[in-house]
Each structure stands twice: as structure tokens, then as C-alpha cells.
Amino acid sequence: MSNNFIKVENPVLIVEGKQADNERLKAESDYLRGTIVEDLQDRMTGGFTSDNFQLIRTHGMYQQDDRDIRGERQKQKLEPLHNVMLRARLPGGVITPTQWLGIDKFADDYTSYGSIRLTTRQTFQFHGVLKPDIKLMHQTLNSIGLDSIATAGDVNRNVLCTSNPVESELHQEAYQWAVKISEHLLPKTRAYAEIWLDEEKVETTEDEVVEPILGSNYLPRKFKTTVVIPPNNDIDLHANDLNFVAISDNGKLIGFNVLVGGGLAMTHGDKATYPRCADDFGFIALEHTLAVAEAVVTTQRDWGNRVNRKNAKTKYTLDRVGVDTFKAEVEHRAGIEFGDSRSYKFTHRGDSFGWVSGIDGKHHLTLFIENGRILDYPSKSLKTGMAKIAATHQGDFRLTANQNIIIAGVAEADKAAIEQLAREHGLLNDTTSNQRKSSMACVAFPTCPLAMAEAERYLPKLVDDVETILTKNNLADESIILRVTGCPNGCGRAMLAEIGLVGKGPGKYNMYLGSDLAGSRVPKLYKENVDEAGVLTEIDALTARWSTERINAEAFGDFVVRAGIVDQVNISVRDFHDD
């Protein structure tokens, strides 16, 4: 195996010490192959063994089991019912109707939950695929032009792009950059094609550089990239390592402001971990986009902490080496200088529900999907409805970073039929409150092995109760960005919410307050270990004050900061933890 770990420009900035075990397993994996093929054939267990358990992540899968039935199976002396969750690679969340019909059928035939889950990073997940069906799953995706390469693990993951194509031309250009960046930063190993698509193994020579960008050890930790079109920060750039903010002139894309080092994950009680907003490095012209993306990734590759995975993300590298040092290195590697940041403004993060028209005369219908779960419920057959729409729709679909879906590119003549199908199947419902549309949760139980508290299953009832409270406090039409995550990893982006609930233990949450509508700051810890009744009591008291004390149309997050209920958190850890 050749080692193509690229020369480190400034070795002083490397963290010394015993490397994390993930470094060994990546290095020994033969470029992400491991012994996955052998494991796949072993039917004595439904799971993957040793390093393969981790390695399948770089192919877009997590091994899971249903935690609701784990205890019961243990009593029967059975191993957990292992299965995998698959996350597709879908830059900008764009998926065609034909592709939708393909994934709809696979979800019916081969997933134990029968659902398609729209995620907070603009893709979909299958939950509950058993080992004998995994290869078929990848081949099915491949047959419809999809894959799941690098959607998990220590690589650059699915690249996001602002969803709603209202400014059609600008959106199209930005979206194409999201695709190009995704492809440029993908692992170059042929492991995925060999293992899942039965393609021939092509031997590499000793001195061949297999992974010129990612290196033989890949990245120190997961890495996330976005392209965002102001004024909508729907993709929540501060949750991501590398962000390209589209700067346009007369509706034409001319370049990007580049923001580096956002991230939300933390560990309860560990002050060396914290959510952090991204730093603005400045403006670049379009032609430098890929070089800058590559330079940020390789700088993080070489300087990121490979000793302690809890401090391995880009945000910690920036704080350790200094933002200016990191930025100068990116300029050096990309052979450019960042220009002064161009001005832009984010005003909101939510999706525009209902119909909106693009400047190209096409129409786009955004559907609210609670928890992003596309499933046939007794009261609403969302999955059947989506399949019927896919069977007639001539445009495409856009998955949003808020777990919703846009039926995009509808001609005037087709609007009525699409709307009727959406209404018939409960996909469009005029009574959904603003509060429900502003609420979000991660998956958590029963599938996520890291969940400490409920999130997706808790949210619908929580929103019912918050709606009642808002009405009681004369705020019926108002809404608060309310997000719940089952643990502090932050998949539901609670650390960019006006009210963020972060799972602490069964039925217990830490309550954070004070992000803003644009998502430009992280919230601050307000109360720890609050139970579900306590959450409602707090929200009642806080919104009662908001109702009477707010100035003009002040948003909830701004109110709690101005009223001194919580302190404002600025860019870094200095304000997030109290000391």
C-alpha cells in the first residue's frame, strides 16, 4: 500500500501524541476497503465486525439496531437485530422524479421502517436495511444515478446549497458549484465501485497517489461544506466547516465570500468542546472556488487534531493555530489572496411554504414534512402521495435543509393537478401553524445509538403544547425557531435555535436560548436537566414576558438576549462557557 500522506507545510502546528485509533483503521483500510467484502458474506452475524463497523460509514452507512427491542432480544439471548441506515449523496438536495420512484420502491421492499427520511442536510436516509439487501441497495441507487459515497466518516460530506430556486439562474449556477465541489472533494479510491457495484479491482503502483486531496488517512474528522444564497441562510452555514456565500451582480454569480470553521457538536460537561460560528475569510472570484475548497480541506487534513477526536474538527484547528495563520496557509496553498468581504445579509432560515414563482416563469411548491418522515400514516398517505406526484411531475424535487421538500419547476398548466395530489395525501395542509413549520428534531430513538433522549418522537406533542401556550399568551401567529436533538452532537441544529433542547438523559433536556432569525449566533445555556413538564413551564413564562415586553416585532431570540435572560454568545468559546 502506498502512503500518499502529503508533505505537511508547517509541521509545528501538528498535535503530537498517540494517534486516535480511527487513524490506524483508516491507514490500514487499503483506501476504505477493509474486509467489508468478507464481512458481507458472513451470515453468522447481521452486523459488521471490527474496523468494518466504522469503515462502512465512508460508504454512507451506519450500523444500527432498534433500541426499543434491544432488551427483549437480549433476554432471548439473541444478538441485536443489526441493520444499516443509508444516507445518500445528493448535492444541493436535488433528486429527479424517476430517482424518487426508485427510492420509494426500495423503501417499501427492503427497509424495516418503510419510510424515506428527509434529513437536515438535504438528503434522504433509509432506515433498517438488512445485510443480505445492502448490495442490492447500492446497485439500485447506482441504476438511477445515485450513490452514498462519503456521506459519513472522516471525509467531505454531502454538499448543501440553498434550496428554493426563486432566482432561477443564480440558483442554477450556485447549485452547479455545489455539485462540482462535491465531486472535487470526493474520495478517489475505487473501493465503493469494487465492493458494492462489483467493479474490477485495478491494482495501484507503490508510488501512485490514490488520494491526492484527502490523503491515505483521510481527514481527521467529518467535514461539511455548503453553498448559500443570501438572504436565505436555510442551510445554516455556521453548522458547517466550509461555506461559500454566493455574491451576485445583477442576478449573475460573480464569486463567493468564504466562511470557515463552523460546527455545533459538543460533549456535555467537557469545556474543551463547544459550538462555534464560522469565520469570514473574505471574497474570492468564481474561478478560484475549487482551489480554495481544496486548500481549506488539505490545511485541515494536515493541521487537524488526529490525537483527540473530540477536538479534531476544523473549528478547533482554527482556534488552536489562529484564524490568521489558517487563512494565510489557505491563501498560500490556493495561490490566491482573499479580497475584502462583499456585503450581504441573511434575513431568515425557514423554507417558503406553498407556491413561489421563479423568474423563469416556473413554479415551485414547498411542502412541510413533519420530522422529514415520508411515510404512509393512517391519517395521511404522504409516501403514496409523493410517488403519485413523482409519476407525473416534469421538473425535479429539492430536499431542503429543514427536512422539507420542494416540487420544483412546475409549468403553469400542471400546477392545479400537482396541488390536488398534494392536498389529497396530506402533503399540503393550510392549518399547519407557523410554530410547527419553525420546529425541527433529529432522529434520536429508536435508531440512533447515541441518543440520550427522545427527539423526533417528542417533537409533535411538544409543538402541540407550545402552540397552546403561544395562543394563551396572545402570540398565536408568532413562531420561535425551536429545535430538539437527542444528544449534544447537534444533528437537529439545536445550537442555532432560538430555543434549543439538547438531550441529557431519558426525558431530560438542557435548554439553550438566544440564537437569532438569521442564525448568526449560537444560543446560551439557560437551564439544565429540565423535564418535559419543566420545558413547558419555562416556555410559558418566557413567552408571556416576550408577549408583553417585546419591542415592536422583536423576535424571541433577540428578546431573551436584550432582556438579559441569557447573555449573548459571540463567536467563540469565551462566551459559550461561563469561564
Instruction: List contacts with ligand SF4 (CB under 6 A).
Output: 442-444, 448, 450-451, 455, 485-487, 489-492
Please, what is the minimum distance in Å from the beta carbon of residue 87 to ligand HEM?
7
Query: Phi/psi of residue 527, each to 5°?
Result: -140, 145
Q: Do residues 93 and 400 lie in contact, with contact meaning Cβ atoms separated by under 8 Å?
A: yes
Q: Which is nearer to ligand HEM, 62 or 283 (CB)?
A: 62
Q: Which is nearer to ligand HEM, 90 or 210 (CB)?
A: 90
Contact residues for ligand HEM, defined by CB under 6 A: 62, 64, 85, 119-121, 125, 239, 264-265, 442-443, 447-448, 450, 489-493
Catalytic residue among 131, 327, 442, 550: 442
Q: Which residues contact 435 (CB under 8 A, 6 or more apart)?
A: 463, 466, 467, 470, 478, 479, 480, 482
**Is residue 222 annotated as a catalytic residue, yes or no?**
yes
Catalytic residue among 349, 448, 483, 493: 448
Q: Which is nearer to ligand HEM, 334 or 369 (CB)?
A: 369
**Is residue 157 annotated as a catalytic residue, yes or no?**
yes
Residue 134, binding choice from ligand HEM, ligand SF4, none, Cβ under 5 to 8 Å by partner class: none
- The Cα-based distances of 308 to 56, 151, 313 in angstroms read 22, 22, 10
Cβ neighbour number for residue 548 with a 10 Å cutoff: 9
Q: Which is nearer to ligand SF4, 84 or 174 (CB)?
A: 84
Residue 265, binding choice from ligand HEM, ligand SF4, none, Cβ under 5 to 8 Å by partner class: ligand HEM
Catalytic residue among 33, 89, 157, 550: 157
The C-alpha atoms of residue 382 and residue 345 are separated, in whole angstroms, by 35
Taking the CA atoms of 336, 338, 344 and 350 in sequence, report the sign of the dihedral they define.
positive
Residue 485, binding choice from ligand SF4, ligand HEM, none, Cβ under 5 to 8 Å by partner class: ligand SF4
Q: Which residues contact 314 (CB under 8 A, 6 or more apart)?
A: 223, 241, 242, 260, 261, 263, 296, 300, 304
Residue 121, binding choice from ligand SF4, ligand HEM, none, Cβ under 5 to 8 Å by partner class: ligand HEM
Please, what is the minimum distance in Å from the beta carbon of residue 153 to ligand HEM?
11
Which cell is 5 given?
A: 500522506
Catalytic residue among 117, 131, 222, 349: 222
Q: Do residues 163 and 229 lie in contact, with contact meaning Cβ atoms separated by under 8 Å?
A: no
Q: Which residues contact 154 (CB under 8 A, 6 or more apart)?
A: 22, 26, 58, 218, 219, 220, 221, 222, 223
Catalytic residue among 26, 224, 301, 550: 224
**Is residue 161 annotated as a catalytic residue, yes or no?**
no
The C-alpha atoms of residue 185 and residue 156 are separated, in whole angstroms, by 6
Residue 283, binding choice from ligand SF4, ligand HEM, none, Cβ under 5 to 8 Å by partner class: none
Q: Which residue is nearest to ligand SF4 (CB)?
A: 486
Catalytic residue among 121, 277, 483, 487: 487
Q: Which is nearer to ligand HEM, 442 or 475 (CB)?
A: 442
**Pairing label, strands 363-367, 373-374:** unpaired
Please, what is the minimum distance in Å from the beta carbon of residue 85 to ligand HEM?
5
Q: Which is nearer to ligand HEM, 115 or 447 (CB)?
A: 447
Please, what is the minimum distance in Å from the beta carbon of residue 502 to ligand SF4?
8
**Is residue 487 annotated as a catalytic residue, yes or no?**
yes
Q: Which is nearer to ligand SF4, 122 or 489 (CB)?
A: 489
Please, what is the minimum distance in Å from the beta carbon of residue 62 to ligand HEM?
5
Residue 95, binding choice from ligand HEM, ligand SF4, none, Cβ under 5 to 8 Å by partner class: none
User: What type of residue sits at position 146?
Assistant: L
**Is residue 521 annotated as a catalytic residue, yes or no?**
no
- The Cα-based distances of 42 to 49, 137, 442, 509 in angstroms read 10, 18, 32, 41
The C-alpha atoms of residue 356 and residue 363 are separated, in whole angstroms, by 6
The C-alpha atoms of residue 56 and residue 34 are separated, in whole angstroms, by 9
Closest CA to 242 of 142, 317, 320: 317
Please, what is the minimum distance in Å from the beta carbon of residue 246 to ligand HEM?
20
Please identify every residue annotated as catalytic. Answer: 87, 157, 222, 224, 442, 448, 487, 491
